[in-house]
Amino acid sequence: MFSLFQYDFIVRAFAAGLITAVVAPAIGMFLVVRRYSLMADTLAHVSLVGVAVGLLTNTNPVLGSLIAAVIASIAIEGLRESKKVFGESILALFLSGGLALAVVIVSLGHGFSVNLMSYLFGSITTVSATDISIIAAAGAIILIALAVFYKEFFSVAFNEELSAASGMNVRAYNVALIVLAAVTVSLSMRIVGALLIGALMIIPTVSAIQFKMSFKKTLALSMGFSLFAVISGLFASYYFNLASGGTIVVIALLVFCLSLLANKGLKG
Amino acid sequence: MVKKNLAKKKLIELRNVHFSYGDNVVLEDVSFSVNAGDYVGVIGPNGGGKTTLLSIMLGLLKPSSGQVLIFGKKLSDLKRERAHIGYVPQRLSQLDANFPATVYEIVASGRTAGNGPFHVFSKNDKDAVERALAIAKIGELRHKLIGDLSGGERQRVMIARSLAGEPQVLVLDEPTTGVDIASQEQFYHFLAELNHQHGLTIIFVSHDIDIVANEVHSLLLINRKVVSYGPAKDMINKHYLDDLYGGKIDFTFHPHHHH
């Protein structure tokens, strides 16, 4: 039945997909509860600058996107703290600014716009062995950081003022979280694509929240939903020749709709 | 929590503290200290610098000049000890009702700052959380989500969160805002119990003069400067309150705020 695994590119796509599926909602959970849902999308657009530079200079685009997203994440947090620009406006600045810059760089090097498409919408046929190493290393760093600082991230997410009053370095945890989000965005890009990463980070979390469970259980359930969406999305993408990112997100949305209904059932 | 043998030890001390935002002087030459075991009410008109004073005591704001000593140390010399100031913020009703966490998770997060990173939640931590849940009498709510609680229940959760960190002093900012009268009375009774039976030092910031004056031992009247600081029973006379509120508010007036 699983004859598709005879192809190396499918094995790589699943490896990248599974890592993405676990990591994306883990970081997404902290973004959602802090009302930072748009952060993932913003970082994704900025990371396209790195992809464009990578394609132009013939270096690894995943690595390029990682560098671009991390630099942007630190700049965003710095600007947010300076309070010179509204939080939401900062995201809009970086989101459209990143896309504009990426498009300009792309138009400098004619002829790789087709290649760029795979970074915008995700493609299961293009995950390279190098990509897998980068994705696996980055994924491991994110999960370890989350495991070690889970309690601190929870406390800061629940209430910044309380955390600061008890002597916690709130600023450091904010920067750490957004940098981890930037890394997550870059490693998700191959499978779901830059335009749809935000959805994979956010939708499984808001679906899981409908079930009104503890923070930890909500986190676990969101990973479950995400794994389901990614695995079934990859299968559908292969058998029906669909764009993997779109398929995964549409499945995640279906799960969200069912979760909403279940929530109504729980209340009723 | 501190036992009674620590009484008289200065927990928080402000020396000649000034604070201003640009040209706007908020606090002028404020000096006072709070001893272990005290139950202090900080009252004053809105805009009189109460909230600024509280932020300075918590180390959230640095004074423009003057000294702040917490547990006898300068703020910059304090590290994990800051976790032993329990803080219960204003506007509990505005706590995010959709935050997906149980009462237990939130109370347990009161241990985080004191333990620091790389710490594994231990038996000792669990015991402290259980004690906090028991003192706040919310053990049966432990699996409920914070969003499903009433205002009075949330208030107890926030206190339990502070107690879990084993504080030496509890600082409360207008904690009864958005809580119904019956819950408020229970709440004051609960605070008195914490101070009396558990020896916990309490600093209570409020605009609600008559309730606070009946509950606390000492009153700090603040309106940019320290108008007066002393035993509550000596303070309840019109003279001081005239100074404080410029004679506009009579003590018999009960300033209920509607939200």
Give residue-wise pLDDT tens across range B135-149: 999 999 999 999 898
**Does residue B100 fall inside a structural domain?**
no
Q: State how far the Cα of B123 lies from the Cα of B109, in Å rounded to an integer.
A: 15
Q: Kindly indicate the confidence band of residue B254, based on its pLDDT and cuts at 50, 70 and 90.
A: very low
Chain length of chain B:
259
The rounded percent of chain A whose pLDDT value lies above 70 is 97
**pLDDT > 90? residue A106:** no
Chain A residues whose CB is inside 8 A of the B78 CB are 167
User: Is the model more confident about A125 or about B88?
Assistant: B88
Give the mean model confidence (pLDDT) for residues A48-60.
89
Residue A256 CA neighbour count, 13 Å, CB half:
15
Give the mean model confidence (pLDDT) for residues A155-179.
90
Q: How far is CA B98 from CA A117, A206, A266, B64, B148, in A?
A: 37, 11, 16, 38, 9
Which residue segment(s) compose the domain that B79 sits in? 4-94+169-245
> The CATH number of the domain where B85 resides is what?
3.40.50.300
Which residue in A has a C-alpha nearest to residue B146's C-alpha? A214
**pLDDT > 80? residue B41:** yes
Whether ipTM > 0.95 holds is: no
Q: What pLDDT is attached to residue B161?
A: 94
Domain count, chain B: 1
The rounded percent of chain B whose pLDDT value lies above 90 is 34
Q: Kindly indicate the confidence band of residue B257, based on its pLDDT and cuts at 50, 70 and 90.
A: very low
**Does residue A260 fall inside a structural domain?**
no
Chain B residues whose CB is inside 8 A of the A206 CB are none
Identity (one letter) of the amino acid at B229?
A: Y
Q: Which helix (H) or strand (E) holds A92?
A: helix A87-108
> The CATH number of the domain where A179 resides is what?
1.10.3470.10
The answer, for A166 touching chain B at a CB cutoff of 8 Å, is: yes
**Does residue A153 fall inside a structural domain?**
yes
**pLDDT > 90? residue A243:** no
Q: Which helix (H) or strand (E) holds B86?
A: strand B85-88
Relative to beta strand B169-173, strand B201-206 is parallel
**Does residue A184 fall inside a structural domain?**
yes
Which residue segment(s) compose the domain that A55 sits in? 7-198
Q: Quick: pLDDT tens for B100-111.
A: 999 999 999 999
> How close is the nearest chain A Cα to the Cα of B101, in Å?
5
Mean pLDDT of chain A: 89
**Does residue B131 fall inside a structural domain?**
no
Chain B residues with CB within 8 Å of chain A CB: 58-60, 78-83, 85, 87, 89, 95-96, 98-102, 104-106, 109, 112-115, 117-119, 121, 143, 145, 148, 161, 165
**pLDDT > 70? residue A112:** no
Which residue in B has a C-alpha nearest to residue A216's C-alpha? B101
Instruction: Among A11-15, A109-113, A163-167, B180-184, name the one with the lowest average pLDDT.
Output: A109-113
**Does residue B134 fall inside a structural domain?**
no
Tokens 């404080």: give the residue. B244
CB contact under 8 A, A215 and B79: no
Coil/strand/helix, residue B49: coil
**Does residue A64 fall inside a structural domain?**
yes
Q: State how far the Cα of A40 lies from the Cα of A194, in Å rounded to an integer.
A: 9
Going by C-beta distance under 8 Å and a sequence separation of 6 or more, which residues neighbour residue B27?
B17, B18, B19, B20, B49, B52, B53, B56, B63, B224, B225
Give the mean model confidence (pLDDT) for residues B52-74.
90
**Does residue B54 fall inside a structural domain?**
yes
**pLDDT > 50? residue A167:** yes
CB B155 within 8 A of CB B92: yes
**Does residue B184 fall inside a structural domain?**
yes
Considering only CB atoms, A166 lies closest to which of B82, B102, B143, namely B82
Domain count, chain A: 1
**Does residue A128 fall inside a structural domain?**
yes
**Does residue B258 fall inside a structural domain?**
no
The answer, for A215 touching chain B at a CB cutoff of 8 Å, is: yes
**Does residue A137 fall inside a structural domain?**
yes
Q: What pLDDT is attached to residue B132?
A: 94
Q: What pLDDT is attached to residue B120?
A: 87
